[in-house]
Amino acid sequence: MTVKVAIGGATGRMGSTLIELAQIDKEVKLCAITDTKDNLHDTQLQKLGIPFTDDLTKHFDVFDVFIDFTRPEGTMKALDVCMQGEKSLVIGTTGFNSEEYTNIQKAGDKIPIVCSPNMSVGVNLLYVLINETVRNLQKINDIKVIDKHHKHKVDAPSGTALKIEEVLRHSLKETPNKDTEVTVDSIRAGEDIGQHTIDFIAQDEKITLIHEASSRHAFARGAILAAKWLATKKTNNKGLFTMSDVLSDT
């Protein structure tokens, strides 16, 4: 089965990476790309020979799944478009406020959505390792999360760091370490793609878990996997899913 995808933010860092990988994936057909009107002059993207637009509503007939790694305001627009066209949506954008995330949750009642702050397989494995560490390490005094990204990243803490904190607090509730202090610090400097470090400081010992993305391909591969999953596994099932759902059913 070939999955027909459209990709948002085509001129951005993640958009470019998604386009690159979609073009070489034999199970994916890149059918449309979008960006803001000011960016539609990109001649290299025009040469792809597919719709390059700021209005995807004119091209509902060419794609099944939309992949969006833009900014919250761009994702809200993509959400409206996909609901209007009854299309599936993969969201890798972060930095949503509570109202925006509520809109995503409500949209899950109408269309299939995969939304995760980090699409990489490695980070989703990290969540599992965090839970195992909390369950098995005795007398944890402090837990420190350090989120390091390039200087251009808008949100701090990152969506991944916030998810790590959520996983930590949920896991801690089930252990004698439930009152352990969790702190999150963010660093925005240089061109680091993304690194998350978790220090578990216990009595007489320390465990450190680190995930570092060496390429944006890690996020793009996960997003494309999610798009395939939506197309092949959940076509008739509305709902809001995460990468954990994708990986447990792949």
What's the pLDDT score for residue 192? 85
pLDDT of residue 195: 95
CB of 203 closer than 8 Å to CB of 141: yes
* Domains of the chain, start order: 3-119+216-248 (3.40.50.720), 121-212 (3.30.360.10)
Which residues are paired to 34 by β-bridges?
53
Q: Which of 149, 163, 196, 234 is catalytic?
A: 149
- Does residue 87 have an active-site annotation? no
Catalytic residue among 4, 59, 153, 233: 153
Residue 222: C-alpha distances to residues 81, 109, 232, 242, 244 (Å): 23, 23, 15, 11, 11
pLDDT value, residue 18: 98
DSSP 116: -
Quote the pLDDT of residue 169. Answer: 96
Amino acid type, 234: K
pLDDT at 236: 61
Tell me the Cα Rg of the chain: 19
Q: Which residues of the chain have pLDDT under 50?
A: 234-235
Identify the pLDDT of residue 248.
87
Q: Model's pTM, two decimal places?
A: 0.86
Q: What is the pLDDT of residue 124?
A: 93
What pLDDT shows up at residue 90?
A: 98
Would you call 149 a catalytic residue per the annotation?
A: yes
What is the pLDDT, as a whole number, of residue 10?
97
